[in-house]
Amino acid sequence: MAARGRRLARMNTTMLRRGHGERRTAALTAVAALTAVTALAPMVWGTTYFVTTEMLPVGHPLFAGLARALPAGLAAVVIGALLSRTRAGRTGPAARRALPHGAWWWKSAVLGILNIGLFFPMLFISAERLPGGVAATLGAVGSLAVALLAVPVLRERLTVRRVAWGVAGVAGVGLVVLGPGARLDAGGVLAGLAGAVSMALGVTLTKRWGRPDGVGPVSAAGWQLTAGGLFLVPVTFLAEGAPPAIDGRATLGYLWLGLVGGLIAYVLWFRGIGRLPVTSVAFLAPLSPLVAAAVGVGLLGEELSGLQVAGFALALAAVRSPGSSRPGGSRRLGWLRGRRRRRQASSRWRSCDEDRGLRGNRHGRQSRGR
């Protein structure tokens, strides 16, 4: 009976390990799918350089940021309110959950200014004053900034692998988009760096503060887009005056930037930030300049040299690097705790099986004695 108890214990342990392996595989598959959906946001943003230079009026970067943020934000707030009302089946508290409350008024304002209000105009200023390659390389620095800011803000550990892959991503983007005749403008460089740091801080704080209970990613994105758009309203009209003349081509450009690059992309982006490690999301940023380079090849007839193809591969490797997609410390700690609990359960089952075997042997001896 004791041998039978040990066999049962081994079978229980094997079943536990098999079940854990299946659950872990399913979890990794879900994370990979969520990462792929989140990656659509920076890929869409990669079209911003083409739209800005080929479709929008020149000399109005602040208006471009305003047109991209405010209409999309208001639409997201309305859609979020309708979704909340549908889920709750009533109109009172459900509708109120679509608007900020308490501390979330100032938190939404801060995140909206960092992620939208400052980032958008800096992005368009750098896109206008610098070649697309230089602006894209400066934007790719944001992933490194997130890795550094995650140490004091999120208490994450800064690893050499993470920094090395971050540098590799920036280097790969530079090889793809920087040409030998790339000119540097001081104002454009400062704008690009300011936009990257602003976005990095906004992403890190978005991860730290999360979302209120009962608030979905559509409403959260709407709060930030609206706050950033309202911040840009007085700044835009003070700095640029009246809006530019908008023709049919510019209308299509603004619609693309607002609907796809604003509403849809930011909902996917903030959803990914809420569910994935923040560095995993940040390391998706090099996809934006890579898409910009691909758009240049496909729509503008540009060609890639062998060195640029190598840089493309290096940047993609940084996006898919183990250091960028590895779960955070809390997730590893939870996995270790789960493994410890499974071992404890296995030892308890083993001891119970052995006790049953000993009782069976004792009962058999007593029966033979009688």
3 belongs to a structural domain: no
Locate tokens 């835009």: which residue? 236
340 belongs to a structural domain: no
Distance from CA of residue 306 to its chain's centroid?
31
Overall domain count for the chain: 1
- Give the model confidence (pLDDT) of 60-75 as tens digits: 888 988 988 999 999 9
Q: What is the pLDDT of residue 20?
A: 60
* pLDDT of 9 strictly over 70: no
Q: What is the pLDDT of residue 53?
A: 80
14 belongs to a structural domain: no
Determine the Cα–Cα distance for residues 286 and 268; give it in Å rounded to an integer: 17
Under 8 Å CB-to-CB from 278, ≥6 apart: which residues?
Answer: 146, 150, 154, 156, 203, 204, 207
Per DSSP, the residues of 4-33 read HHHHHHHHHHHHHHHHHHHHHHHHHHHHHH
* pLDDT of 24 strictly over 90: no
Q: Find the radius of gyration of the CA atoms of the chain.
A: 27
* pLDDT of 313 strictly over 90: no
Per DSSP, the residues of 229-278 read HHHHHHHHHHHH-SPPP--HHHHHHHHIIIIIIIIIHHHHHHHHHHHS-H
Q: Which two tokens stand for residue 15?
A: 């079943």
pTM of the model: 0.73
- Give the model confidence (pLDDT) of 197-232 as tens digits: 898 899 999 999 988 887 888 999 999 999 999 999
Q: What is the pLDDT of residue 33?
A: 87
9 belongs to a structural domain: no
136 belongs to a structural domain: yes
Determine the Cα–Cα distance for residues 274 and 365; give it in Å rounded to an integer: 63
- Give the model confidence (pLDDT) of 270-293 as tens digits: 888 888 888 788 888 878 878 877
Confidence of residue 136 (pLDDT cuts 50, 70, 90): low
Higher pLDDT among residues 224 and 332, named by residue: 224
Other beta carbons less than 10 A from residue 189's beta carbon: 16
When pLDDT is averaged across residues 302-323 and rounded to a whole number, the result is 73
269 belongs to a structural domain: yes
Instruction: Give residue 215's domain range.
Output: 46-327
Determine the Cα–Cα distance for residues 219 and 203; give it in Å rounded to an integer: 17
* pLDDT of 310 strictly over 90: no
Determine the Cα–Cα distance for residues 220 and 29; give it in Å rounded to an integer: 26
Dihedral sign of CA atoms 10, 16, 19, 24 in order: negative
Q: Which of 174-183, 246-255, 342-351 has the lowest mean pLDDT?
A: 342-351
Q: What is the pLDDT of residue 327?
A: 45
267 belongs to a structural domain: yes
> What phi and psi values does residue 150 have, to the nearest 5 degrees?
-65, -20
Q: Which two tokens stand for residue 193?
A: 């760096």
359 belongs to a structural domain: no
Q: What is the pLDDT of residue 351?
A: 53
Distance from CA of residue 297 to its chain's centroid?
27
Cβ pair 131, 179 in contact under 8 A: yes
Under 8 Å CB-to-CB from 274, ≥6 apart: which residues?
Answer: 206, 207, 210, 211, 217, 220
